[in-house]
Structures are given as structure tokens and as C-alpha cells.
């Protein structure tokens, strides 16, 4: 289609719409097990591998895929780099130039590395060999031990030496590039000990197959970058200077002294035969994706804010014109998603809360959590949801969502025992002691990959143990939440009394951890004594909130008891504090927390470290 001559491609002319554009099979290899296929001209040969962009040069004699470095992908996964962005840097080929041996990728009987080989292998070690894919494998495992040719075959005239590629691609008017390395001594592989890593440079012959010609500009083929960069092919030793071929800034190629500092470095590697791609079509906009790009962390607060709607209006999952009805459980018509608390819309950090069956999964400190809501300072309040599976999923249910079972308080016969702390907040409740013990071992004393305690990710949020009294009746004392949740069906995130706010800064907490409140359960989709098995807080168990419900001070002391808010089979319930129920700690991530992932149980948000 793109070759007009009956005799095929003319390698003394640049690639074009009439002299080669596309993928070609090298006819001289047609009978081999793995015929060579090479790219030529302006083509879609872009690849993302090991978080870098590459261009496909050709296939190899073993069916591999030879790639040349082409920079880093853009934020949206494109590979459209030009100029210096296509290189890992610049380097001389060799620091010395005044002997023929310095055309060698190695020299002195191949015992001394060239300057450029040292540069390439140093980059490769850090950026390919020591980097790992999602499964923990080094990216080197994707690559074959390909043969790199530093063709030093030559002829000598007077004191000048002219190397193989000089005669094939410059001196010979009928130019005939070749992919055969004439001398075994010029083959560089890991297996023969001449390479530390399976990485090298493109050859001059490969630039000719791609569409380049000596001293003729070509700005339309895929190797054109607008910059000079080195090949691995010696040109000559002439006039006391060692020359190696370089791709020129016009897209042509020229022999350049090995000590010229202005040469770009574009490493070349080869994917193994049988390498599969995940997606893409090879274009700059949609490269062939061999290994996924690492996801860029995003602000979890901004994610939540962006998808929220007001809770006092009709919306996609709210059919009432008045908004969410907290007298009814969450549903596809009464709230499912992220809602902005309309009463906080004018505040610096409006409250956003999750309701119903939602994707609000987070992995933090190697545990699964569910997002409850944002805080008054822009933090993210989380409730414990167990440990991730081996494949990093968060799909726990029942006891696996809890750190264990506990009574709320060992004592229940005096009103003070509704307190998260009691006796003027000098003594810890049983459940607080259990939570603090777990937190100390599993969060505070554990460190991230940078050696920081996971506590450093958390803000000092207010935990409300609302002991305000809403009413009394006969022998009962009813606390604030009884009025809000049971009678009026109007939950609130305001803590009515200063003395019921538990924080690190006021000395009532030892660690920034507590429990969910019954009001937060109501916002999430729970209703007193009404079953709800489809919202995110349901785990087919009973577990404690931090919210007092009532105290019955019957004349018979033995029948006095406190009742605390719980989450369970009836989505909001109240049970005596001596019941053995589940513990699900609650913490608050700082407002600037970044995450990757989707928030689903199969792909949770993962807090970036």
C-alpha cells in the first residue's frame, strides 16, 4: 500500500507514503521460525511498559519485541513526547576519543564499560530492575536477554578504520542495512557476560529500516524527536577521532565523535515472546498497555465533595421533594450515595455523609474501613471493617468486620456508666479500654513504609458521648439521642454539651479513636427498630455505638440498668450495656489525605503513603 516501487523499499531514501509506512516483514527471514517484522515511517507503535513510554522498533530473532525509550506518560496516559522528554538524559558515548577502541560499547578486551553503558545500566537498575509490577515481580522478568550488536567489523585505509555500518548505510550507494551481527565478539548479552542487564541502544541499521537516511531530513518517522541521540553502531576512526553513528535532530543520521557531550540517551529493551497487552491500539493517545500505569493519588475529600448532592432536595435516589426522610431507612428512593448536610452548606467544611448501599471502602494501616462522613475540619471519618483479603479486597461481613466482642461497661446499675469515661471522666469504660489497647498495638505502634506511625495520618476529631438529658418518665432518664432518633427522627451531628466531647486535645482521649454515634447511623440509613440489610453499616451482627439511650433507676437496685445505642438486626437498637456485642473502632483521616482506587469492595480507596 505504501511502497510504490516493484522492487520494494529503497533504503537510500527516507520513509514516506510511497517508500514505506507501516509494519514490514523482512523477506530474507521469511523461512525462519520467527521472521523479523519492523516498523517504518509514521506509525502507531507506542507502548507503556514499566510506567514508561516506548516505541516498537521490531521483533527479534526469538519472537521478542524490541522497544526504544520514549519518556514518561502524561497524566492522562498518553505517549506524545518530543525533544529531550524522549531521553533519560544526555551523555558522551565515551570520555576518550583518540583510539579506535573507544567506539566499543565496552573496550580493552571488553573489560571496561563505555561511559554510555554505565549511564544506561545505572538508570535501568533503578527504574526497571528494582521496580516491581502489581504482583511484586521485577520488571526485568518481562524482558528477554536480547542480543545487542556493537558491530566493530571493519576495513582499514591508511590509518583510518571504517566499520560495518559505514559501508552498509553510508559508503555504499545502494544501501543495504542488515540485522545480522557479523562477529560473535560484538554480540552483547547478559548470558555471555558482556551485559549486567538486558538493555542497550538502537543500531544504525535499525534506524535505516525505520526510515532514516544519512544527511537527509525526515521529520515524519517515529524515530524523529528533534534531538540528537546515540546509536550503538561505530562509524569510523578517522583523523584521530573515534566516531559513532547518532540520529540527528533533523531525523537523519551522522557519525559523531564519541566524546561529544550533546548526545541523548534512549535505552532499548526487548519484551519476551508471547507478551500480552492489557489494552490500547498503539496510538499516542492509547498506547499498547503492557503493565498498568500507577494511579496518581487524589484527594479523598475532593472525591467525596464532587459526587455529593444536597440532602434536602429531590435527586436521583431521593423521590421526595423535601429530601431524605430520616424516619425511613435508606433505599433507592430515600437516599443512596453521598449527601451534603444542607444545614452546613455555608461552613468552611460542609459535612458530606454516605448513605445506603455505597462504594465507600478504604484501606488504611493495612485494615479495611468504611467512610462514614467528612468532619467539621475536612477530615474523613472511618469505621473499621476488618482485614483485606490476599488480593486486597474489602468484602468482610459478620464478625470479620469487628476487632472483637465486649460489654460496653462492666457496671450498668448507675447512670454514670453510660459514659465513655465516667467519675468526672477519670475512669475508662470497658469498651474504651479495649479500643485503646487494640489501637495502640495495631495503629499507633505500626509504621508505614516511610517509618511513620499510622497515627500521624489521623486528625484529633470530636467523638460525642451525648449525655444530655432530653426527658424523664417514671423511673427512666432519656438522653438526647432518644429524642432525636426515636421520637423526632431528626438526627444531628452537633454535640450538645462540651463535657461530652472526647478529644486528644481536651485530655479525654489517649488516642484519636472512638465509636460511631447513633445519629451517624441514622444518616447512613438506619432507623430505630426497623430492619435494613442493604446499607453499608449492616454486618448481620450487633455492635456498639457511643450513644446513651436511657437509664432505668428502678427502686430495686438489682434491676437498674443503662441502655446504649447499637447497630444490628434492627438497624438502630438500644441494649443493656452488659451485652457482649461487637467493637468497630472509628478514626478520622486528615483533610489532605490522598488515595488511589475506586472505593469499591474489589478496588478500595488505598491511602497513599
**Do the Cβ atoms of 537 and 520 come closer than 8 Å?**
no
Contact 91, 117 (CB under 8 A): no
Most confidently modeled of 293-297, 406-410, 553-557?
406-410
Where do the H-state alpha helices sit in 340-497? 430-439, 480-481
Average pLDDT over residues 245-268: 95
User: In the predicted model, what is the mean pLDDT of the chain?
Assistant: 93
Q: Give the mean model confidence (pLDDT) for residues 515-521.
A: 96
| Contacts of 128 by beta carbon, 8 Å cutoff, 6+ apart | 50, 138, 139, 140, 143, 197, 199, 269
pLDDT digits over 415-452, tens only? 898 899 999 999 999 999 999 999 999 999 999 988 99
Residue 497 C-alpha cell reads as 454539651
132 DSSP β-pair partners = 138
pLDDT at position 292? 83
Confidence band for 558, pLDDT divided at 50, 70 and 90: very low
Please indicate, yes or no, whether the overall pTM of this predicted structure exceeds 0.75. Answer: no
Residue 539, SS3 per DSSP: coil
| Residues β-bridged to residue 37 | 25
- The alpha carbon torsion through 428, 431, 433, 435 (nearest 10 deg) reads -130
- Output the pLDDT for position 557: 46
Residue-wise pLDDT tens digits, 339-381: 999 999 999 999 999 999 999 999 999 999 999 999 999 999 9
Strand partners, 501: 464
Q: Is the Cβ–Cβ distance between 540 and 549 less than 8 Å?
A: no
Amino acid at each position: 500500500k505504501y511502497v510504490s516501487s516493484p522492487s520494494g523499499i529503497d533504503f537510500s531514501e527516507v520513509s514516506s507514503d510511497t517508500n514505506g509506512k507501516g509494519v514490514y516483514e523482512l523477506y530474507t527471514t521469511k523461512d525462519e521460525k520467527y521472521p523479523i517484522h519492523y516498523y517504518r515511517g509514521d506509525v502507531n507503535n507506542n507502548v507503556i511498559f514499566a510506567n514508561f513510554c516506548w516505541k516498537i522498533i521490531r521483533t527479534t530473532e526469538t519472537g521478542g519485541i524490541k522497544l526504544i525509550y520514549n519518556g514518561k506518560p502524561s497524566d492522562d496516559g498518553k505517549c506524545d513526547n518530543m525533544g529531550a522528554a524522549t531521553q533519560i538524559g544526555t551523555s558522551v558515548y565515551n570520555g576518550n576519543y583518540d583510539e579506535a577502541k573507544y567506539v566499543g560499547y565496552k573496550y580493552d578486551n571488553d573489560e571496561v564499560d563505555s561511559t554510555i553503558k554505565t549511564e544506561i545500566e545505572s538508570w535501568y537498575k533503578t527504574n526497571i530492575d528494582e521496580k516491581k509490577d502489581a504482583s511484586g515481580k521485577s520488571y526485568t522478568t518481562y524482558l528477554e536477554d536480547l542480543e545487542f550488536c556493537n558491530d566493530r567489523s571493519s576495513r582499514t585505509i591508511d590509518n583510518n578504520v571504517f566499520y560495518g555500518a559505514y559501508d552498509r548505510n553510508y559508503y555504499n550507494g545502494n544501501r543495504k542495512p542488515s540485522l545480522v551481527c557479523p562477529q560473535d565478539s560484538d554480540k552483547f548479552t547478559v548470558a555471555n557476560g558482556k551485559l549486567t542487564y538486558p538493555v542497550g541502544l538502537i543500531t544504525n541499521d535499525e534506524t535505516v529500516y525505520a526510515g532514516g537516511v544519512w544527511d537527509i531530513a525526515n521529520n515524519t518517522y517515529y524515530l524523529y524527536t528533534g534531538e540528537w541521540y546515540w546509536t550503538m553502531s561505530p562509524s569510523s576512526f578517522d583523523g584521530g577521532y573515534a566516531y559513532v553513528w547518532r540520529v540527528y535532530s533533523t531525523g537523519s543520521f551522522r557519525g559523531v565523535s564519541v566524546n561529544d557531550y550533546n548526545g541523548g540517551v534512549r535505552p532499548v529493551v526487548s519484551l519476551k515472546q508471547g507478551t500480552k497487552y492489557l489494552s490500547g491500539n498503539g496510538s499516542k493517545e492509547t498506547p499498547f498497555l503492557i503493565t498498568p500505569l500507577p494511579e496518581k493519588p487524589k484527594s479523598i475529600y475532593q472525591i467525596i465533595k464532587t459526587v455529593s448532592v444536597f440532602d434536602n432536595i429531590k435527586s436521583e435516589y431521593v423521590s421526595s421533594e423535601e429530601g431524605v426522610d430520616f424516619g425511613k431507612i435508606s433505599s433507592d428512593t430515600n437516599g443512596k450515595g453521598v449527601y451534603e448536610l444542607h444545614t452546613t452548606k455555608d461552613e468552611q467544611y460542609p459535612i458530606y455523609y454516605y448513605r445506603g448501599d455505597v462504594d465507600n471502602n478504604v484501606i488504611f494501616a493495612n485494615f479495611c474501613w468504611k467512610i462514614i462522613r467528612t468532619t467539621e475540619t475536612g477530615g474523613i471519618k472511618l469505621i473499621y471493617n476488618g482485614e483485606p483479603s490476599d488480593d486486597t479486597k474489602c468484602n468482610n461481613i459478620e464478625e470479620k468486620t469487628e476487632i472483637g466482642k465486649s460489654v460496653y461497661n462492666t457496671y450498668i446499675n448507675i447512670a454514670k456508666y453510660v459514659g465513655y469515661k465516667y467519675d468526672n471522666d477519670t475512669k475508662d469504660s470497658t469498651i474504651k479500654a479495649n479500643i485503646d489497647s487494640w489501637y495502640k498495638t495495631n495503629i499507633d505502634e505500626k509504621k508505614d513504609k516511610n517509618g511513620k506511625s499510622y497515627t500521624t495520618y489521623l486528625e484529633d476529631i470530636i467523638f460525642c458521648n451525648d449525655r444530655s438529658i432530653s426527658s424523664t418518665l417514671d423511673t427512666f432518664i432519656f438522653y438526647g439521642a432518644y429524642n432525636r432518633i426515636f421520637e423526632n427522627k431528626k438526627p444531628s451531628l452537633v454535640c450538645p454539651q462540651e463535657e461530652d466531647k472526647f478529644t486528644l486535645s481536651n485530655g479525654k482521649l489517649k488516642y484519636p479513636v472512638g465509636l460511631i454515634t447513633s445519629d451517624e447511623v441514622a444518616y447512613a440509613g438506619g432507623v430505630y427498630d426497623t430492619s435494613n440489610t442493604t446499607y453499608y453499616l449492616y454486618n448481620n451482627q450487633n455492635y456498639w455505638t457511643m450513644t446513651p439511650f436511657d437509664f432505668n433507676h428502678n427502686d430495686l437496685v438489682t434491676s437498674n440498668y443503662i441502655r446504649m445505642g447499637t447497630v444490628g438486626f434492627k438497624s438502630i437498637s438500644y441494649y443493656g450495656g452488659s451485652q457482649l456485642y461487637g467493637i468497630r473502632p472509628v478514626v478520622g483521616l486528615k483533610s489532605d489525605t490522598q488515595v488511589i482506587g475506586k472505593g469499591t469492595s474489589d478496588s478500595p480507596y488505598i491511602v497513599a503513603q
